[in-house]
Amino acid sequence: MTIRVLHVGLGPIGCAVARQVTARKGFRIVGAVDIDPHLGGRDVGVIADIGRPLRIKVTADLRKTVKATKPDIAVLCTSSSLKEVMPQLEELLELRVPVISTTEELAYPAMHNRRLAKHIDELARKAKVAVLGTGVNPGFMMDALPIALTAACEHVNRVEVRRVQDARSRRLAFQQKIGAGLTKEQFDRQVATGQVRHVGFTESIQMIADALGWTLTRITDDVRPWIAEEDVESELLAVDSGYVCGISQEGVGYIGDEVKIRLQLDAYLGARESYDSVLIDGSPRIYSKVHGGIHGDVATASITVNAIPLVINAPPGLRTMRDMPLPSFFGAR
Amino acid sequence: MTIRVLHVGLGPIGCAVARQVTARKGFRIVGAVDIDPHLGGRDVGVIADIGRPLRIKVTADLRKTVKATKPDIAVLCTSSSLKEVMPQLEELLELRVPVISTTEELAYPAMHNRRLAKHIDELARKAKVAVLGTGVNPGFMMDALPIALTAACEHVNRVEVRRVQDARSRRLAFQQKIGAGLTKEQFDRQVATGQVRHVGFTESIQMIADALGWTLTRITDDVRPWIAEEDVESELLAVDSGYVCGISQEGVGYIGDEVKIRLQLDAYLGARESYDSVLIDGSPRIYSKVHGGIHGDVATASITVNAIPLVINAPPGLRTMRDMPLPSFFGAR
C-alpha cells in the first residue's frame, strides 16, 4: 500500500521531507501547497531539487488540493509557531486529514499553548485522525531519547542534555538563524524580537517532566551569543574575531530551587567537537554521547518521514513522541 | 491508584524487581509464587532483602494465589526459555492477569518460537490482557534503543551494537554464567550444553530486522571464550592466566552474504573499559556510546518495573518493546 502524501509548506525542511518521500519505498507525493506566490504553479520536483519533475504543481489552495488529491497524510512544515499554523491545522482536520508537522511548538503542549493544544486534540478526535509534531529537536534528541534512557533507571534525580554543533557545515539560513556575523548588540536585539532563538526547549522540558512524573515550578530559556575569539569562516560566511559566531541557549526546568532538567544547545562556527550527550543522573547513572552529533536538517526530515506510518495508525487526537510506539526507519527498498 | 503486583519467580532478577516495586510509589506487592521449596512460606521482604517483612508469604500455588490476591500484573522471572515458562503463562492468561516477564525468548518471537508466540498472543487476546517480555538485553540496549536511533535516518545500511562489560563488579552467578575460571575445554562443553550463553541475540536481531523492514536470510549466534592473558581477580573469583575469564558472543543477521546486523557482547573479568555502543551505518551515520555501560541487573529490573503501567494499558495480545509507547522511568515519589 502506497501512502499518499500532501506537502504543506516547501521551505528547506518541507523540501527535505519531499526529497526523502520521493526516495523511499511506500510513499507517493500527491499534492503540494505553499502560500509563497513564487512557488505557485511550479513543479515540486524542481522546487525540492529532486532532479526530475514529479508532475505535481504547487498550489495556494489547501482545501481544493485536499479534495482533489485525497491524501493519507499532510506534512505541515510552515512555521515554528503553533498559533501561526492553527488555520492550516483547522482546515486539514476539518477535511479529516492526519497531520504530521515540524512545528516546534506542536511537539509538546507547553503551558502557554495548552488551550490551543486542547482545541487541536478535540478537532482531531472529532475528525478521527491523529496529529503529531516531531523533528530532531524538539521531538527526539532532547526529549524522546533521554526519556527512553530513563527506562533503565530505578530512580532519576536530574536529566541533562547537551548538543554542541559546529555550524560551519550547516546551510546559510541556519548560520544566520544562530546570529553568525552579527555584533553583540545586533544579536541582543534579534534575541529580543525572537529572531535568534531555537524554539522547543520549553516543549522538550515539559515532555521530560511529564514522562518522569515531575511537577516543575519554573522553566527558563535563555539565549546568549558565542563571540568569535579569532576569525572563523564557513564556506558561506566569514566572522571576524569579536563578532558573534553562534548561539548558546540554555533551558532549565526547576522544582523549587533544584535544577531537574537542563538542556543546552551550543551551535557556532568553529566548535571543535560536535556531539549530542545525555546525562541521566540517577541509578544507574547513564552518560550517553552521540559522537559527531546528529545533523539537524537531515534528521528532522528523516524522523518526520519515519513517523508517517505511526501517525496514520495512531489513535485519534493530538499525539506526542511520548505516546507513540517506538519510532524507527521506515521505507526500505 | 496503586498497582497490585504478583511476583512469579524470586531468583536474583525477581528479587531485584521486588525491591524496586517496594521502593517506588504507585505499586504494592500482593503475592509471590516460587516453586523452590526453600522459599515456600517465607516472607518476600526477607527473601528479596528489602530490609523489613512485607507480610507476604511465598506460595507454590499460582492459581490459588492469583484468586486470593487479584493482581493487576504478574511479574514473571523464572526462566530464559519460552518453552519452560509456557505452563505459567498459560495459567496466568487463563486467569486474565496481564504479564510482564524477563524471559529472554519472550522479548521477541524468533523464528523457532513463532508457534508458541502465536499461541500466547491468542490466549492474551482471549483474556483481553497484554503480555510483554522485556529487560535490558534483550528488550532495550541491543534492540529498542538502536531501533529508536534509526528514526533519525533517511536510510540504513547496517546496525552494529557492542556491549563490553568488565564482569568484576557483577554478582557471582553472572561471573560463573560467563564461564570465568573454567578451562577452555570446560567452557566449550558448557557452550555445547547451553549453560554458557547469553540468551536473546536471535530475538534482538529479529526485532531490529522487522523494524527496518529487512528480510534476513540467516542468523548466527556464536560463543567464544576470553582467555585471561594475565592473572585477574574480582572480589568473588580469581582466574589464573590461561584460563577462561569471560565470554565473547557474536550474533549476526545476514541478507545473502551481507552483514546487516551485528551484535557483540564481551563480558569478562578485567575488561579495561565498559561501554554500550550503537553504530547506525546509514545517512546520517550515528555512533552512540553509553560510557561505562549500563549495569545489566539493575537496568533489567528497572525496565521491567517502568514498563508495568505500559503493559496494563496496552492493547490485548503479545506485545513487544517495538510496539509499546516510549518507555520511561515511572514511580517518582
In a domain, A274, yes or no: yes
Chain segment A107-137, per-residue pLDDT in tens: 998 888 999 999 999 999 999 999 999 999 9
Cβ of B287 and A283 within 8 Å? no
What are the grid coordinates assigned to A63, written together? 482545501
Rounded to whole angstroms, the Cα distance separating B59 from B66 reads 11
User: DSSP labels for B229-298?
Assistant: SS-EE-SS-EE-TTSEEEEEEEEEEEETTEEEEEEEEEEETT-S--EEEEEEEEES-EEEEEET---HHH
Chain B nearest-CA distance from A204, in A, is 14
Closest to B148 (Cβ–Cβ): which among A213, A305, A326? A326
A294: nearest CB among B212, B284, B307 = B284
Tell me which chain A residues have a C-beta less than 8 angstroms from the C-beta of B136: 152
- Contact flag A284-B305 (C-beta cutoff 8 Å): no
Residues A132 and A226 in one domain: no
Residue contact A148–B147, C-beta within 8 A: no
Give pLDDT, residue A332: 80
Asked if the Cβ–Cβ distance from A213 to B330 is below 8 Å, we say: yes
Please report the pLDDT score of residue A171 as a whole number. Answer: 85
Domain boundaries, position A267:
144-293
List of chain B residues whose C-beta atoms are within 8 Å of the C-beta of residue A305: 154
Nearest CA in chain B to A291: B287
pLDDT of residue B296: 79
Radius of gyration for chain B, computed over Cα atoms and rounded to the nearest angstrom: 20
- The total domain count for chain A is 2
| Residue A299 with chain B: CB contacts under 8 Å | 152-153, 284
CATH of the domain at B71: 3.40.50.720
Q: Check B152 against A136: CB less than 8 A apart.
A: yes
Q: Over the Cα atoms of chain A, what is R_g?
A: 20
Q: Please name the member of A156, A284, A290 whose beta carbon is closest to the beta carbon of B286.
A: A290
Average pLDDT value for residue range B110-129: 96
Task: For residue A325, give the DSSP letter.
Answer: B
Residues B59 and B155 in one domain: no
Task: Tell me: do B196 and B264 sit in the same domain.
Answer: yes
Q: Which residue of A has its CA nearest to B333?
A: A213
Question: Does a structural domain hold residue B324?
Answer: no
Q: Residue B156's closest chain A neighbor by CA?
A: A329
User: Percentage of chain B surpassing pLDDT 70?
Assistant: 100
Q: How high is the pLDDT of residue A177?
A: 87
B54 and B43 Cβ atoms separated by less than 8 Å: yes
pLDDT at res. B174: 86
Is position B279 within any domain?
yes
The verdict on residue A328 lying in a domain is no
Report pLDDT for B169.
85
Peptide bond into A284 cis (omega under 30): yes
The DSSP element (H or E) to which A261 belongs, if any, is strand A258-268
B197 shares its domain with B276 = yes
Find the CB nearest B321 among A214, A306, A326.
Answer: A326
The alpha carbon of residue B323 is apart from the nearest alpha carbon of chain A, in Å, by 5
pLDDT at site A327: 93
Nearest to A214 by CA among A264, A269, A150: A150
Question: B18 to chain A nearest CA, in Å?
Answer: 12
Q: In 3D, which of A147, A186, A177 has the Cα closest to residue A288? A: A147
Angstroms from A154 CA to nearest CA on chain B: 5
pLDDT of residue A295: 82
In a shared domain, residues A31 and A161:
no
Contact B307 A214 (CB under 8 A): no
Mean pLDDT throughout B85-101? Answer: 98
Query: Do B230 and B304 belong to one domain?
Result: no
Sequence-separated (6 or more) residues with CB below 8 Å from residue B83? B105, B116
Q: Is residue B330 part of a domain?
A: no
pLDDT beneath 70: ranges in chain A: none
pLDDT at residue A194 in the model: 87
pTM (global) more than 0.90 = yes
Whole-number Å distance between alpha carbons of A233 and A231: 7
Summarised one tens digit per residue, pLDDT across range B220-235 is 999 999 999 999 998 8
Is residue A163 within 8 A of residue A294, CB to CB? The reply is: no
Residues B150 and B260 in one domain: yes
Res B331 pLDDT > 90: no
Cβ distance of A326 and B285 shorter than 8 Å: no
**Rounded distance between C-alpha atoms, residue A112 and residue B236, angstroms:** 56
B325 found inside a domain: no
Nearest CA in chain A to B290: A288
Closest-CA distance of chain A to residue B104, Å:
16
- A298: which chain B residues are within 8 Å (Cβ-Cβ)? 152, 154, 283-284
For residue range B180-203, list pLDDT tens digits in order: 999 999 999 999 998 888 999 999
Residues B171, B253, single domain; the answer is yes
Task: Find the closest chain A residue to B283 by CA distance.
Answer: A298
Average pLDDT over residues B114-121: 97
Residue A109 falls inside a structural domain: yes
E strand or H helix at B27? strand B27-33
* Whether residues A174 and A288 fall in one domain: yes
Residue of B nearest to A319 (CA): B325
Residues B199 and B94 in one domain: no
Establish if A333 belongs to a structural domain.
Answer: no
Query: Would you call A330 and B23 a contact, using CB atoms and an 8 Å cutoff?
Result: no
